[in-house]
Amino acid sequence: MARELAIDARGLGHRYGAREVLRNVNLQVPRGGVFCIFGPNGAGKSTLLRLLDLLETPTEGRIIVGGVEALPDARPALRRCMATAFQSPYLFRASVEANAAYGLRVRGRPRRERGDRAREALERVGAISLLRLPAWRLSGGEAQLVSIARALAVQPEILFLDEPTGNLDPPNAGRIEALIREYAAANTVVLVTHNLFQARRLAHYAAFLHQGELIEQGRAEDILNLPRDDRTAAFISGEMPG
C-alpha cells in the first residue's frame, strides 16, 4: 500500500509559536496524477505544502515519502526526489539559464547536461527567449515561468506547485496547465490552488483544507461534484462566509 503512495502524512500538526496552523492532518497522495489541495485563504495550504516538500518539520506527526519516513537523516535524499515552484517566485541573482540549471548544478550534473536540460525546460514553459536575461529584469509572470522551468528541469518524481498560474496571462496559464497534465502522466504533481476551475480541469485527486483541518480528500470528481462535508460544499458553491 505504502508503495502506491507518493506521500503519506499522518497526524500532522504545525504551530508558529502559539498559533496553530494545522491540526491532525492525515493526507495520502497517490503516486502519479495531479493531487490538488484547495481551500480558502488562511486554511494552511502553503504551510502544508512546505511540510510535504520537507522544507519545514511538522511540530506533530510523520511524513512518509515513497515508503521512507522523512526522518532528519533521510530528508536531504528525499528532497532530491522533489522540486517546488512557489506562489511568489524567488529567482537567484543570476541569468535565467543559471536559475533554470540550479537544481541540476547542486546534483553535480555535467555542464553540458545542465545547459541542455535547462534550455529544454525553458522551452517547455515558453520562456526560452529569456535564456540570457538577468533574472532581476523579468516581470512577475516571466519569473513564475522560469520558476516552474527550474523545478521541471530536475525532473522530480514529485512536483509541488503553489498557485502556478497566479501571475500568468490566459495563453501562458493554458500552456502551463497542459504541461502539468503531461508531466503528471508519469509523475506526481501536488497542486495548491484557489482556482476551482483549474482544479476541475487538472486534478485527479483533491483535498479540502479549512482552518488548518483536512475536511475531506479523495477522487477530485467526487469531492468537487459531490462533496460529503457542508464546508466543502459551501466553499465550492461560493457560499462560504469570509
Interface with other proteins (CB under 8 A): 50, 53, 55, 76, 79-80, 82-84, 86, 88, 90, 92-93, 102-103, 106-107, 150-151, 154, 160
Instruction: Name which of 94 and 196 has its Cβ closer to other proteins.
Output: 94
Q: Give me the phi and psi of 156, to 5 degrees please.
A: -70, 150
> Measured between alpha carbons, how far is 52 from 232 in angstroms, rounded to an integer?
22
Distances (CA, A) of 205 to 80, 94, 113, 200, 201: 24, 37, 34, 10, 11
Nearest distance from C-beta of residue 79 to other proteins, angstroms: 6
Place of cell 480541469: 201
What would the DSSP string read from start to end of 212-226? TEEEEEEEHHHHHHS
Nearest distance from C-beta of residue 88 to other proteins, angstroms: 8
Instruction: Name which of 143 and 223 has its Cβ closer to other proteins.
Output: 143
Instruction: Name which of 9 and 151 has its Cβ closer to other proteins.
Output: 151
Instruction: Name which of 157 and 177 has its Cβ closer to other proteins.
Output: 157
Nearest distance from C-beta of residue 50 to other proteins, angstroms: 8
Instruction: Name which of 37 and 224 has its Cβ closer to other proteins.
Output: 37
Instruction: Name which of 138 and 215 has its Cβ closer to other proteins.
Output: 138
Distances (CA, A) of 155 to 82, 116, 229: 8, 13, 36
Nearest distance from C-beta of residue 105 to other proteins, angstroms: 9
Buried b vs exposed e over 52-63: b needs ≥16 C-beta within 10 Å? bbbeeebeebeb
Instruction: Name which of 44 and 227 has its Cβ closer to other proteins.
Output: 44
> Measured between alpha carbons, how far is 49 from 175 in angstroms, rounded to an integer?
23
DSSP category for residue 192 = E
Nearest distance from C-beta of residue 86 to other proteins, angstroms: 7
Nearest distance from C-beta of residue 56 to other proteins, angstroms: 9
Asked whether the beta carbons of 119 and 149 are under 8 A apart, the reply is no
Query: CA torsion sign, 54 to 59 to 65 to 70?
Result: positive
Nearest distance from C-beta of residue 185 to other proteins, angstroms: 23
